[in-house]
Amino acid sequence: MKDAAELVGVDYRTIELGIESGTIPTVQLDPRRMIRRAGPRRAFGVDA
């Protein structure tokens, strides 16, 4: 979450809330939850 937050320039808790609300999709790879780069970029309107 911290890496994704740095990528789009927001606090990591904002990413956490986006994941919980379903705005930012994740993939569960036991035991880790992965966030694709496109998810936060799309959610926050950040260009690639």
Q: What is the pLDDT of residue 11?
A: 92
Residue spans of the domains in the chain: they are: 2-44
Please check the confidence at residue 3 and state whether its pLDDT lies above 90: no
C-alpha distances in Å from residue 20, one per residue of 47, 48: 23, 24
**pLDDT per residue as tens digits for the range 6-45:** 888 889 999 899 989 988 888 888 888 888 777 667 777 7
Instruction: Give the per-residue pLDDT at 21.
Output: 92
Other Cβ atoms less than 10 A from the Cβ of 17: the count is: 13
3-state secondary structure 1-48: CHHHHHHHCCCHHHHHHHHHHCCCCEEEECCEEEECCHHHHHHHCCCC
Regarding predicted confidence, which is higher, 1 or 47?
A: 1
Q: What is the rounded distance in angstroms from the CA atom of residue 20 to the CA atom of residue 4?
A: 15
The per-residue pLDDT for 20 is 92
Res 7: pLDDT: 84
